[in-house]
Amino acid sequence: MHTNIRWWTAPFEALEVQVPSSGNILEVGCGHGVFTTFLAVSSTERSVVGIDIDAQKIALAKQSVLGLSDSEANLSFEHRSSGDVPMIDGGWDAIVFADVLYLLPVEARTALLAECIEALSPGGLLVVKEVDTSPKFKAQIAQFQEFLATKVLRITDGDEMDFPSAAEIEALMASDGLETQIARLDKGYFHPHCVVVGRKRQA
């Protein structure tokens, strides 16, 4: 039920087109792997890895894709501790977040983004999807839903909730040297979905 609700309330199709259609892609905080799997099956030219701090969710994600053949999707899942971003030769072509950063305090959020930028290839993309803080009525709906998932139902791991605005995320990414742009993805949705995309400068 949780993954179905996640699929229908998040603009994954609009988010997918923000991600390169080929190359090595990492999703940080992938949860049950819904978007990780969608990225992989949408383009077999992508090699997609999903990581999460919740070992149980990673186990379920691995189980959910057992029926996929190598010709249908190139993906894998890993359990990693918070802040542990895997490095690969040449760097990741894109690193993706989908509704993760609000679970981190500002200091941890800043450190994690910096680590991800370090792990990107030259010209690689950092794609950060969050719910914006405006319009206010949409933000309140999203924040209440996340409160239920995190504090009441305990579906999502997180010590606190601190919802950054799209402008705050963009400023943070720009301060780390990325060329950034913001796009709203909330048309037709009750949540104020937005994405901030940052490109790492060529060496």
**What's the confidence (pLDDT) of residue 155?**
55
Other residues' Cβ atoms within 10 Å of the Cβ of residue 26: 25
Per-residue pLDDT of the chain in tens (203 residues, 90 and over written 9):
667 777 778 999 999 999 999 999 999 999 999 999 999 999 999 999 999 999 999 999 999 999 999 899 999 999 999 899 999 999 999 999 999 999 899 999 999 999 999 999 999 999 999 999 988 877 777 666 666 666 655 556 555 678 899 999 999 999 999 999 999 999 998 899 999 999 999 87
The boundaries of the domain holding residue 195 are: 2-199
DSSP β-bridge partners for residue 154? none
Those residues with Cβ within 8 angstroms of residue 14's Cβ, 6 or more apart along the chain or in another chain: 185, 195
What are the angstrom distances between the C-alpha of 190 and each of 8, 14, 18, 31, 179? Answer: 11, 15, 21, 22, 29
Q: How many domains does the chain have?
A: 1
**What's the confidence (pLDDT) of residue 4?**
75
CATH number of the CATH domain containing 71:
3.40.50.150
**What's the confidence (pLDDT) of residue 66?**
94
**What's the confidence (pLDDT) of residue 130?**
95
Q: What does the alpha-carbon distance between residue 52 and residue 33 come to, in Å, rounded to a whole number?
A: 9
Q: What does the alpha-carbon distance between residue 48 and residue 36 come to, in Å, rounded to a whole number?
A: 7
**What's the confidence (pLDDT) of residue 136?**
84
* pTM of the predicted protein model: 0.89
Q: What does the alpha-carbon distance between residue 119 and residue 134 come to, in Å, rounded to a whole number?
A: 31
Phi, psi of 24 (to 5 degrees): -90, 120
**What's the confidence (pLDDT) of residue 24?**
98
